[in-house]
Amino acid sequence: MNKSRLEAFSDGVIAIAITIMVLGLQTPQGASLADLAPLMPPLLSYVLSFVYIGIYWVNHHHLLQLATQVDRRVLWANLHLLFWLSLLPFVTSWVANHHRQSAPVACYGVVLLMCSVSFLLLKRALRHSEAAHPSLAALLGHGRKNALSILLYALAVPLSLATPLGATAIYVLLALLWFLPDHHFEAARPH
């Protein structure tokens, strides 16, 4: 099956998620910088979620650039990832307005956890679809960084019940970790 439709559909869903998030931002009531202060939690929540969506978009792009084909398993794994990414605007808005409350921060973490799990499942589905090309499947990797992220998200979610800001710090740390590029993707890009 051709992968271009999968890429185009995924890009559209991701673009819509970002658009929904930015439309949720409010402008300050006044014209001074002091009027911006109460809007900092929603703005910072937006920035963090935008970074996360950007990370998934970049890594999704790299994965699909390596793939020669997609099969039914890849299509469903990709839809699974897009489902969880599409929930980011909802939990971003909730946590933006209640960033010191356990339930919104925990739900934000659950969505991030499930995005990470679904990305790992997509990577594994792509490895399976490329079984006829062992060198290409090897380039897709085993997802060690992904597995570490899943572990840290799984720890952050219950931590948010005791300290929402501590859990948020883990979410920020993980975004920074993923912001660092995977060099094996860059080296493996087709020329």
Local confidence pLDDT in tens for the 191 residues of the chain: 678 999 999 999 999 999 999 999 889 999 998 999 999 999 999 999 999 999 999 999 988 988 888 999 999 999 999 999 999 999 999 999 999 999 999 999 999 999 999 999 999 999 888 776 666 666 666 678 889 999 999 999 999 999 999 999 999 999 999 887 666 555 555 44
For position 153, what pLDDT does the model report?
Answer: 97
For position 144, what pLDDT does the model report?
Answer: 83
For position 135, what pLDDT does the model report?
Answer: 65
Q: How many domains does the chain have?
A: 1
Q: With contact defined as beta carbons under 8 Å apart, do 156 and 106 qualify? A: no
DSSP state of 180: S
DSSP state of 37: G
Residue whose C-alpha is closest to residue 92's, from 21, 9, 31: 21
Residue whose C-alpha is closest to residue 137's, from 150, 125, 149: 125
For position 148, what pLDDT does the model report?
Answer: 93
Q: With contact defined as beta carbons under 8 Å apart, do 164 and 105 qualify? A: yes
Q: With contact defined as beta carbons under 8 Å apart, do 70 and 6 qualify? A: yes
Question: Scanning the structure block, which residue is given the tokens 């570490």?
Answer: 148
Boundaries of domain holding 98 = 4-188
For position 191, what pLDDT does the model report?
Answer: 43
Question: Scanning the structure block, which residue is given the tokens 């439709």?
Answer: 5
For position 179, what pLDDT does the model report?
Answer: 80
